[in-house]
Amino acid sequence: MASVRVEGLRKAFGDTEALRGISFEVRDGEFFSLLGPPGAGKTTTLRIIAGLESPDEGRVWLGEEIVDRVHPKDRDVAMVFEDLALYPHWSAFDNIAHPLKLRKVPLGEIEERVRAIAGMLKIDHLLDRRPGTFSGGERRRVAIGRALVRRPRVLLLDQPLSDLDAKIRQEMAGELKRLQAETGQTMIYATHDYEEAVSMADRIMVIHQGQEEQTGAPQALYREPDSSFVAAFIGSPAMNFVPCKVERAGGELVLQHRAFTLSLAGEGLLSLPDEVLLGIRPEHIRIEAARTPGALPAEVDIVQVLGEEQVLDLRLEDGTTLKAIVVGGVELKAGDPLFIRLERERAFLFDQVSGRRILGPGL
Amino acid sequence: MESRRLREFTDAVLRWLAGIIVCAIFLLPLIWVLSISFKPPEEWIAYPPRLIPEKITTSNYVVLFQPGNPVGGVGAMVSAAEPVTRAFINSIIVVPIATAASLVIGFLAAYATTRFQAGGKSLPLFVLTTRMFPPVAFAVPLLVYFRALGLIDTQLALILMYTGFTIAFSLWMTRGFIEGVPKSIEEAAILDGASRWRVLFTITLPLVKGGLAATGLFVFILNWTEFLLAQIFTSRQAITIPVQVSHYVGAVGRFYGPMAALGVVASIPVVVAGYIIQRHLVTGFTFGLVRE
């Protein structure tokens, strides 16, 4: 097993630039996730690490070794493909044993190791059958087994859980996490599903249009998103963004919106642009029954009940809509008037043009 | 209820009837050939024709191998012909070799053009142009070449031509099957540690073997029945079965009996080959099973 480092990866396919300078480092034994919308460059990054694609610029290190000139078959990198790519003409056993056979591992040991990994993945009973009849979850287990059995330097997973039922997906995500903890396998996991990334990864790199948006621990990305893109991508329902004007009144800064004003206090605010995006997560909007100073009147537009939680679409006086999450208690229905309070200590300001975070958390 | 059962019944009858008619249209000539091959000379073109010969004889088959054998009065007629053995041996050597060579070259070319765009995007189309002209258009220049090389009336000449003329089919037919194998399966095998060649033989080839079998059978039949080039490029030593059939013509007319007998004998290898391959034609298509 080994650490992975990529530096300055660039790759264009014809006129489309898939990667525009991607750099990151994955520590030995780390569960690292590449998170981004479809087309962000996740798969291309993985394929370059595997050697299936060569970058136009940039380098890849596996451990201490620069592998630019190492053939993919000799890189000792395993990959679980999005379409899983099982060998349909071989039994699950032969699928999993393939990398070991190629490494001339003695037959007895192959048998032992395949059985061991099959046990871990709970697919012992499938070993003699071909993948044609397997369920989606079973196929993924076989593909993961094939990738893990030889203990590669790094295991790349290209959205292996997409198209699974939500329930099985959660179950498999949990198992993957456990497997990673048990084996200490370095893993790079590409996904467009933030929940998968957040629930499994030690660190996440959010990429967008072939560029890094932010890298950090899941909590850090949630608490301190560097950009409105990350803020919107992590969390569900997504963060609310409200365009506001910044006005300077007698040495004081005021955030001006048609439905409300917020006075900003604090140092270093002089460089604020005139127009900003106020970002506030649905879970950080509080509902109040009665008017208190600073509360905003609003009307319930749509109510989605998700067990204990209710997701509300709220309409402010000027027509601006905000999503809010309420836990337990009151039963609300469309048309109900109420008051809301934004938790200022959890709110952000973002640049309207670049999307970079200017202020927050906390205004 | 009654009317529905009646309709089901008539449906079944009509289906059977249609099947029988279609089969009759395709099988009648074959049955007729089989019938003639057992008829004595006086019945070959007798009118009215009889499906079952009045006097069943095997003499047509005997004279294939022993021209001049007086049995059944046929031998004297075809005494000028060679025994069929030589043509048979030639066909048995030339056709499988040419078919195998065409298949191997076509498959590898198809693999290279689909997976690596070898030779550029238009190479497969370029190869196809060899079939856009009638073969006879190539015959004269090839005749010049082969004469210079001393290959006239040799098995090698036929093998080269049959291989060349069928590569376009092998390439185009196998291309479709190769494209049916997801690229990621090959990439997975490479990451497992397999070389390109190993991937080709252990992953791709087994997955397309049904397609290769179908292509092989098709090319085999094309070569087995080829007449024009064999007629032009062979005279005695390297004649093939279709050429031999044309030799049963005399000054007084066609010797339908031996012709039919040879037709029957010549069909046997194709039927046998088809029967052997049949299993692979039906199975082999394991694609679409990779993901649900």
Interface confidence, given as ipTM, is 0.86
Residues B262, B208 share a domain = yes
The minimum CA-CA distance between B175 and chain A, rounded to whole Å, is 19
Q: Is A14 left (phi over 0), alpha (psi -120 to 50) or beta?
A: left
- pLDDT, tens digit (0-9, with 9 covering 90-100), for B135-161: 888 899 999 999 999 999 999 999 999
pLDDT band at B102 (very low <50, low <70, confident <90, very high): very high
Residues B139, B255 share a domain = yes
Q: What are the b/e assignments for A100-127, b being 16+ CB within 10 Å?
A: bebeebeeeebeebbeebbebbebeebb
In this predicted structure, the answer to whether residue A95 has a pLDDT above a threshold of 80 is yes
- Give chain B's radius of gyration (CA, Å): 24
pLDDT for B35 equals: 93
pLDDT band at A167 (very low <50, low <70, confident <90, very high): confident
Q: Please state, in angstroms and as integers, the Cα–Cα distance from residue B217 to each residue in A34, A61, B179, following that order.
A: 49, 50, 20
Q: Which residues contact B143 (CB under 8 A, 6 or more apart)?
A: B152, B232, B233
Other C-beta atoms closer than 10 Å to the C-beta of B183 total: 14
For the residues A170-195, what does the mean pLDDT come to? 91
A102 and B190 within 8 Å at the Cβ level: the answer is: no
Tokens 């008051």 label which residue? A339
The answer to whether position B145 is within a domain reads yes
Residues B140, B24 share a domain = no
**A136 chain-B contacts, CB cut-off 8 A:** 291-292
pLDDT for A138 equals: 92
Q: Which residues contact B171 (CB under 8 A, 6 or more apart)?
A: B106, B109, B110, B113, B124, B127
Tokens in use for A353?
Answer: 């043009």
What is the percent of chain A with per-residue pLDDT over 90, rounded to a whole number?
A: 64
Residues B56, B88 share a domain = no
In this predicted structure, the answer to whether residue B117 has a pLDDT above a threshold of 90 is no
Residues B8, B123 share a domain = no
Number of domains composing chain B: 2
The answer to whether position B274 is within a domain reads yes
What is the edge-to-edge ordering of all strands in the sheet holding A57-62? A16-26, A4-13, A57-62, A65-66
pLDDT band at B284 (very low <50, low <70, confident <90, very high): very low
Which residue blocks in B117-255 are alpha helix, DSSP H? Answer: 123-128, 135-149, 155-179, 183-192, 196-199, 205-224, 228-233, 241-246
- Alpha-carbon distance A58 to A23, whole Å? 9
Residues B170, B128 share a domain = yes
**B206 chain-A contacts, CB cut-off 8 A:** 89
The answer to whether position B237 is within a domain reads yes
A73 and B290 within 8 Å at the Cβ level: the answer is: no
CB contact at 8 A, B33 and B264: yes
The answer to whether position B56 is within a domain reads yes
With CA atoms as reference, report the closest residue to A111 among A130, A97, A99, A129: A97
Q: Please state, in angstroms and as integers, the Cα–Cα distance from residue A36 to each residue in A45, A53, A211, A230, A257, following that order.
A: 12, 20, 10, 9, 31
The minimum CA-CA distance between B288 and chain A, rounded to whole Å, is 9
Among the candidates B44, B60, B76, a domain finishes at B60
The answer to whether position B232 is within a domain reads yes
In this predicted structure, the answer to whether residue A309 has a pLDDT above a threshold of 50 is yes
What is the percent of chain B with per-residue pLDDT over 90, rounded to a whole number?
A: 53
Q: What are phi and psi of A285, to 5 degrees?
A: -110, 120
The answer to whether position B211 is within a domain reads yes
Residues B96, B54 share a domain = no
- Alpha-carbon distance B213 to B219, whole Å? 10
In this predicted structure, the answer to whether residue A36 has a pLDDT above a threshold of 90 is yes
Residues B102, B56 share a domain = no
Q: Which residues contact A175 (CB under 8 A, 6 or more apart)?
A: A121
Domain range enclosing B8:
2-60
pLDDT for A221 equals: 94
pLDDT for A267 equals: 59
**A84 chain-B contacts, CB cut-off 8 A:** 290-291
Residues B49, B91 share a domain = no
Q: Please state, in angstroms and as integers, the Cα–Cα distance from residue A24 to each residue in A7, A8, A125, A171, B246, following that order.
A: 7, 9, 40, 29, 76
**A50 chain-B contacts, CB cut-off 8 A:** 187, 191
Do β-strands A211-216 and A337-342 pair in parallel, antiparallel, or remain unpaired? unpaired
Residues B121, B263 share a domain = yes
Among B183, B190, B192, the strongest candidate for a mutation testing the A interface, having the largest count of A CBs within 10 A, is B192
Residues B142, B14 share a domain = no
What CATH number does residue B248 fall under?
Answer: 1.10.3720.10
Q: What are phi and psi of A275, to 5 degrees?
A: -125, 130
Q: What is the mean pLDDT of chain A?
A: 90
- Alpha-carbon distance A86 to B189, whole Å? 9
The answer to whether position B290 is within a domain reads no
Q: List, as ranges, residues 143-202 from B with C-beta within 8 Å of A.
A: 182, 184-185, 187-195, 198
A89 and B286 within 8 Å at the Cβ level: the answer is: yes
For the residues B238-245, what does the mean pLDDT come to? 92
Tokens in use for A26?
Answer: 């994955």
Residues B203, B146 share a domain = yes
CB contact at 8 A, A33 and A234: no
The answer to whether position B151 is within a domain reads yes
Would you say the pTM of this structure is higher than 0.80?
A: yes
